[in-house]
């Protein structure tokens, strides 16, 4: 019921109370109906529709907006951007369509002057993905004339009140609505619509929907052009028709993006083709006024249809593949004009009331007639409930060849001058005996009817008197072809698009277009057929009074509406009947999982017996009836209990399916992994075998090669054989070394071991190790090294052998030494396998100092080419010497000295520390000092000099 004021029962909190609830769980509410339709659509993948009906001003448009608001609020929990975009456009479209299709009437400040049916498309998850709007019979006559106390469409007043000064100036408009003939009757009327605020809201909504700025500007220009058209006045000067205020023609031409002379010609002349000849026929003043008004009405209607088409293009479901995205389901919302009884009822009210008769017939057919017939057909005990079937009134209007529309079309197609009075006479002669039709001629004593003007139809909602004045013209809906060509040739692409038939040439013959009444009848039949395919939900809007007062409740007025809407009969049928019915097969398909007797498949004689077993299993047998092919459930509570059981069991089934599916996936993954591992294992084996075969091929016969395979490149191993190949290479190198050593004479082996030891210690630290020459070892005994004194050294060496029992001579050489007293002297060192002897060559190689080798802990040498050696001892009495040769050879002997000592210590399993540094650290009787090496030009031979931190060994630079 329309409360005629805003109530706080449609907010977010109320939405949450009804979201997901069953019908019986909450008090009756618009949201309960919307939620029930949404759940039916989502649960059963069934298209549903919500039919909103009632008188004009009963609140149908507001109800449709609240339903749209609820559907938008409960969908898209994942906040997908595309779904949010569609929802915004669907909601904003209401605002735009109301501005251009609604108007203030005596019964309603925001009355829909067009019919609207909106399909909302949902994906398989229940989120809106698009939609489509169908519009029906815009009351375009309101553009040029309104009844007393009423206004034209909101768009005119919104533009004048909400448009900026700059916008109005560009459109040549002023804010005063009374300055424009078409809308001045409603200019001073009070209206609850805030035109200024609504103008901004509509502009914002059009931007959200996707209208470009130039398209919005074109809309304003068309609305302004219609206002200016209404101010055109015509008079005839002799035989020539003239426009009184011709300046307006230029304004209209500018707004419609065409030439002023073309506009003037279309208004004053009509181009007529007679055979091959084309002539311009002058209009009379009356014809020019008629043409102007027809042009204004047609422009506005084309504008409205273009807006609807533009919205449809934006929200249309695109690229939807049911095999990929699941089934696309629909909720339809029908918000169409209500039943109207005005002081003067014309062609528009006739069509509107016919539309309401069709919807009432649909309600009767689905709810009252078919339901009772179904009970009888299924063998359900039933006491028939009487109701008024308005099919007789529908037939009165739409029946082929006999109905009012057929008679009206016949009158419009007759040749010659046909008047509205002639049409009424045809009605009287053909429908005079119809119980629901009367006129003054048929009932001469009824003074409420005027002769030759009025006829009465007894509608389901009450008697309505229609005036035939204008029926013929409005049904023909004549618009001269000149105006269509004028608009088609406009330089504005939007206007050109609205008038595609303007491209026809003047002489081209076209098929007679269908009349307005026939077009409307066809659209109503298509609408009813569409609604029949959907599961309907009804919202019946009731007006509490005719004064739009929130304080007044007219009981008689409400009782009348309840009666003619058939609500009492509906309640009786619903109360005595069953809330839900379904075929046994479909019922089992949905609910078989809630009983062990029917899940997964039953073994009972028939589906009917299986359903009976399921119902008895849950104790619902007293609330159902079994038909021949269907199960009937009396109360919604039983159905909702079944749904709850279904929902609970569905969770278990889903978990079971998930478990099975996850197990299947795990097994598949296991098999794939095992197969991959098997393949990898065999592949690795293959790679290993291939690598080993390649190694065998490359190193076959390696013993016979001169270099024992040193020049053979090793193949790159697989990753798994990296460590294996490293070990194998080590084994190979050891084998090759053993083979090389085996080929070396025994007497050369000690020298070879010494060179290896020297290389390990000095390679990378000193440039010249002396590996390329033969190591003599006992250089003092050689004549080239000491030609004068070699004869005196041998007896001393033999004496020391007898005395100290050494076995082998390791090394001997002349040296220059420095002591702690900074004294530099030439000496000789003689190293055996037991001692290191310091000798004086000038005194027949007298032994000056003996150092047992076990007392020797390390050696230090420099990293240059000099011959500096420091012998480190345990008692910190280091020996600092520089090796030199008295003979012509100047070979470095540092490497040999380090090598023979290191090799000897290694055989003795003792460690010998060898460091390569510059300067060299040493200790003389416990005093730390350093010995550095410097190269000097013109230095004849190596020599030690004193330095503050120790000593400096100066060596020749050339």
User: From the candidates 56, 64, 475, 860, which is the catalytic residue?
Assistant: 56
439 in catalytic set:
no
| 64, 105, 112, 475: the active-site residue | 112
Burial 698-711 (b: 16+ CB within 10 A, else e): ebeebeeeeebbee
Instruction: Give the separation between CA 501 and CA 487, rounded to whole angstroms.
Output: 10
Residue 514 is classified by DSSP as: P
Provide the CA 738 distance to its chain's centre, in angstroms.
73
Catalytic residue among 2, 48, 54, 57: 57
Q: 449, 435 in Cβ contact below 8 A?
A: no
* Whole-number Å distance between alpha carbons of 743 and 741: 5
> Do 436 and 314 form a contact (C-beta atoms < 8 A)?
no
Active-site residue (options: 48, 102, 111, 390): 111
> What does the alpha-carbon distance between residue 402 and residue 626 come to, in Å, rounded to a whole number?
44
DSSP 150-187: ---BHHHHHHHHHS-HHHHHHTT--S-GGGSTTTGGGT
Per-residue CA distances from 294 to 477, 489, 708, 863 (Å):
8, 19, 113, 115
User: Of 93, 94, 102, 108, which one is the catalytic site residue?
Assistant: 108
Indicate if 178 belongs to the active site.
Answer: no
Q: Are 337 and 113 in contact (CB under 8 A)?
A: yes
Please spell the DSSP secondary structure of 70-132, one letter per residue: HHHHHS-TT--HHHHHHHHHHHHHHHHHHHHHEE--SS-TTEESSEEEEEEEE-TTS-EEEEE
Which of 2, 48, 53, 61 is catalytic? The answer is: 61
Is residue 108 annotated as a catalytic residue, yes or no?
Answer: yes
φ/ψ of residue 761, rounded to 5 = -90, -30
The span from the CA of 621 to the CA of 616, in Å, is 5
CB 922 within 8 A of CB 880: yes
Cα–Cα distance, 529 to 332 (Å, whole number): 13
Beta strand 329-335 with 48-54 is parallel
Find, among 186, 185, 168, 187, the residue nearest to 176 by Cα: 187
Using alpha carbons only, give the angle 712, 717, 723 rounded to the nearest 5 degrees.
Answer: 105
Q: How far is the C-alpha of 138 from the C-alpha of 300, rounded, in Å?
A: 9
Provide the CA 732 distance to its chain's centre, in angstroms: 64
**Per the residue annotation, which of 198, 264, 301, 340 is the catalytic one?**
340
Task: Identify whether 340 is a catalytic site residue.
Answer: yes
Q: How many CA atoms lie within 13 A of 159 on its CB side?
A: 30
Burial of 896 (0-12, 13-18, 19+ CB in 10 A): buried
| Catalytic residue from among 59, 186, 338, 770 | 338
Query: Rounded CA gap, 621 and 604, in Å?
Result: 18
What residues are annotated to the active site? Answer: 56-57, 61, 108, 111-112, 338, 340
């Amino acid at each position: 019921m329309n409360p005629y004021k805003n109530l706080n029962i449609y907010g977010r909190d109320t939405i949450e109370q009804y979201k997901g609830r069953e019908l019986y769980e909450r008090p009756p509410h618009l949201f309960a109906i919307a939620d029930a339709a949404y759940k039916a659509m989502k649960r059963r993948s069934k298209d549903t529709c919500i039919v909103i009906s009632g008188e004009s001003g009963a609140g149908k448009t507001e109800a449709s907006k609240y339903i749209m608001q609820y559907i938008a609020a409960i969908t898209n929990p994942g906040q997908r951007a595309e779904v949010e975009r569609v929802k915004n456009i669907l909601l904003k479209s209401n605002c735009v369509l109301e501005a251009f299709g609604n108007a203030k009437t005596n019964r309603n400040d925001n009355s829909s002057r067009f019919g609207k049916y909106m399909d909302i498309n949902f994906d398989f998850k229940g989120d809106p993905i698009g939609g489509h709007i169908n519009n029906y019979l815009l009351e375009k006559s309101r553009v040029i004339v309104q009844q007393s106390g009423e206004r034209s469409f909101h768009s005119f007043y919104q533009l004048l009140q909400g448009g900026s000064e700059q916008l109005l100036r560009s459109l040549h408009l002023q804010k005063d609505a009374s300055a424009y003939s078409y809308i001045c009757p409603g200019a001073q009327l009070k209206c609850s619509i805030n035109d200024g605020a609504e103008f901004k809201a509509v502009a914002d909504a059009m931007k959200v929907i996707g209208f470009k700025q130039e398209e919005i500007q074109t809309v304003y220009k068309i609305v302004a052009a219609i206002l200016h058209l209404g101010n055109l006045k015509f008079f005839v000067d002799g035989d020539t028709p003239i426009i009184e205020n011709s300046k307006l023609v230029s304004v209209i031409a500018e707004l419609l993006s065409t030439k002023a002379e073309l506009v003037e010609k279309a208004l004053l002349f009509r181009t007529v083709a007679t055979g091959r000849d084309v002539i311009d026929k002058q209009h009379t003043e009356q014809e020019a006024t008629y043409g102007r008004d027809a042009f204004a009405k047609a422009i506005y209607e084309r504008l409205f249809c273009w807006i609807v088409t533009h919205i449809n293009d934006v929200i249309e479901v695109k690229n939807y593949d049911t095999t990929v995205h699941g089934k696309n389901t629909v909720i339809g919302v029908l918000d169409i004009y209500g039943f109207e009884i005005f002081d003067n009822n014309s062609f528009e009210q006739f069509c509107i009331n016919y539309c309401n008769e069709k919807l009432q017939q649909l309600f009767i057919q689905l709810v009252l007639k078919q339901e009772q017939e179904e009970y009888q057909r299924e063998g359900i005990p039933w006491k028939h409930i009487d109701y008024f079937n308005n099919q007789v009134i529908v037939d009165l209007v739409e029946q082929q060849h006999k109905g009012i529309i057929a008679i009206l079309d016949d009158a419009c197609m007759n040749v010659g001058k046909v008047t509205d009075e002639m049409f009424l006479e045809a009605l009287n002669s053909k429908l005079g005996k119809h119980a629901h039709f009367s006129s003054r001629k048929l009932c001469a004593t009824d003074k409420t009817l005027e002769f030759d003007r009025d006829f009465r139809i007894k509608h389901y909602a009450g008697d309505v008197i229609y005036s035939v004045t204008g029926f013929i013209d409005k049904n023909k809906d004549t618009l001269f072809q000149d105006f269509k060509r004028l608009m088609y040739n406009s330089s504005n692409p939007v206007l050109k698009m609205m008038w595609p038939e303007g491209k026809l040439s003047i002489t081209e013959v076209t098929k007679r277009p269908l009349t307005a009444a026939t077009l409307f009848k066809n659209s109503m039949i298509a609408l009813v057929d569409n609604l029949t395919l959907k599961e309907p939900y009804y919202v019946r809007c009731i007006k509490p009074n005719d004064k739009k007062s929130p304080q007044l409740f007219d009981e008689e007025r409400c009782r009348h509406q309840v009666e003619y809407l058939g609500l009492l009969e509906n309640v009786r049928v619903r109360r005595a009947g069953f809330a839900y019915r379904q075929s046994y097969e479909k019922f089992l398909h949905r609910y078989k999982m809630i009983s062990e007797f029917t899940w997964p498949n039953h073994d009972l004689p028939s589906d009917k017996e299986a359903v009976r077993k399921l119902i008895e299993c849950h104790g619902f047998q007293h609330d159902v009836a079994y038909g021949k092919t269907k199960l009937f459930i009396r109360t919604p509570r039983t159905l909702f209990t079944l749904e709850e059981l279904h929902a609970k069991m569905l969770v278990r089934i889903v978990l079971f399916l998930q478990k099975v599916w996850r197990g299947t996936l795990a097994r598949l993954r296991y098999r794939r992994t095992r197969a991959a591992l098997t393949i990898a294992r065999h592949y690795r084996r293959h790679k290993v075998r291939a690598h080993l075969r390649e190694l065998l091929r490359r190193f076959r016969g390696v013993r016979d090669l001169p270099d024992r395979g040193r020049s053979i490149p090793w193949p790159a191993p697989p990753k798994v054989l990296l460590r294996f190949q490293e070990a194998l290479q080590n084994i190979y190198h050891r084998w090759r070394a053993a083979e090389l050593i085996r080929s070396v004479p025994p007497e050369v082996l000690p020298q070879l071991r010494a060179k290896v030891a020297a290389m390990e210690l000095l390679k990378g630290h000193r440039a010249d190790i002396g590996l390329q020459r033969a190591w003599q070892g006992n250089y003092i005994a050689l004549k080239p090294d000491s030609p004068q004194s070699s004869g005196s050294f041998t007896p001393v060496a033999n004496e020391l052998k007898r005395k100290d029992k050494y076995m082998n001579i390791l090394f001997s050489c002349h040296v220059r030494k420095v002591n702690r007293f900074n004294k530099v002297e030439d000496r000789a060192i003689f190293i055996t396998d037991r001692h290191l002897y310091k000798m004086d060559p000038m005194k027949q190689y007298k032994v000056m100092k003996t150092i047992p080798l076990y007392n020797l802990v390390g050696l230090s040498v420099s990293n240059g080419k000099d011959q500096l050696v420091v012998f480190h001892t345990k008692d910190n009495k280091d020996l600092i010497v520089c090796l030199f040769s008295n003979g012509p050879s100047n070979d470095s002997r540092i490497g040999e000295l380090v090598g023979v000592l290191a090799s000897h210590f290694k055989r003795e399993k003792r460690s010998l520390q060898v460091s390569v540094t510059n300067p060299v650290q040493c200790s003389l009787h416990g005093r730390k000092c350093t010995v550095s090496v410097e190269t000097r030009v013109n230095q004849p031979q190596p020599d030690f000099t004193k330095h503050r931190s120790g000593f400096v060994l100066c060596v020749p630079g050339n």
